[in-house]
Amino acid sequence: MTSAEATFHIDDTVVYAMQGIGRIKNTVTRTTEGRQQGFYQIELEKNKGEVLVPVDDAAVLGLRHALAAVEVPQVLQRLQQAASQPALRGQSENHYLWCKQRLRQGQALGLAEVRRFLHDLEQVENFANLRLRQLRSYVYVELPAEIAQALGCSLAPAEHLVDTALTSKHPVALPMR
């Protein structure tokens, strides 16, 4: 299912771009700019914070269903492929905008591609751009967290899977349950 076709329901586990994993707690109606608008009320996992995401714009804003266990092999394969964006020195603002756009597309494979790209970029330059460093912090935490949640394992094996996929040419074996 693409993010454009996604529908969300109360108690769905979702990922909101740049915020992380959360659970839809409710749908609420608010008046904004003189008109009624529906919002998903999402409780975020990492800090128990709450965000309201407009129902009509949810997919455009990067809300998507959480990674499923059956999708993890595809994500690991994506990590083993070169990023579609070349990692060039001195292009940090362009790199940031490209990464942000990929994350806003609302797909786990996009998150994996950004993780691959940032890994490759680290091989050619330091992260001097503050926004790129913040994005890196999010991506480096979020991808293993999603994999751990999908596989029902702790964070350490998920981080190991990501690291192995980034550095190995061989297929990555999933942990046994």
- Can you spell out the DSSP letters for the chain? --GGG----TT-EEEETTTEEEEEEEEEEEEETTEEEEEEEEEETTT--EEEEEGGGTTTTTEEEPPPGGGHHHHHHHHHSPPSS---TT-HHHHHHHHHHHHHT--HHHHHHHHHHHHHHHTT----SHHHHHHHHHHHHHHHHHHHHHHT--HHHHHHHHHHHHH-SSPPPPPP-
Range 5-14 average pLDDT:
84
Which distant-in-sequence residues (6+ apart) come within 8 Å of 130 by Cβ? none
pLDDT surpassing 50 at residue 2:
no
> Global pTM?
0.81
The predicted structure's pLDDT at residue 47: 76
The predicted structure's pLDDT at residue 12: 93
The per-residue pLDDT for range 133-170, each reduced to its tens digit, is 998 998 999 999 999 999 999 999 999 999 999 998 88
pLDDT surpassing 50 at residue 4:
no
Rounded to an integer, what distance in angstroms lies between the CA atom of residue 118 and that of residue 136? 7
The answer to whether the CB of 117 falls within 8 A of the CB of 83 is yes
The predicted structure's pLDDT at residue 125: 84
Range 56-70 average pLDDT:
88
- pLDDT band, very low/low/confident/very high, at 23 (cuts 50, 70, 90): very high
* Across 3-7, 25-29, 62-66, least confident range: 3-7
pLDDT surpassing 50 at residue 1:
no
- pLDDT band, very low/low/confident/very high, at 176 (cuts 50, 70, 90): low
The predicted structure's pLDDT at residue 177: 58
**Mean pLDDT score of the chain:** 87
Residue at 37: amino acid letter: Q
The predicted structure's pLDDT at residue 171: 82
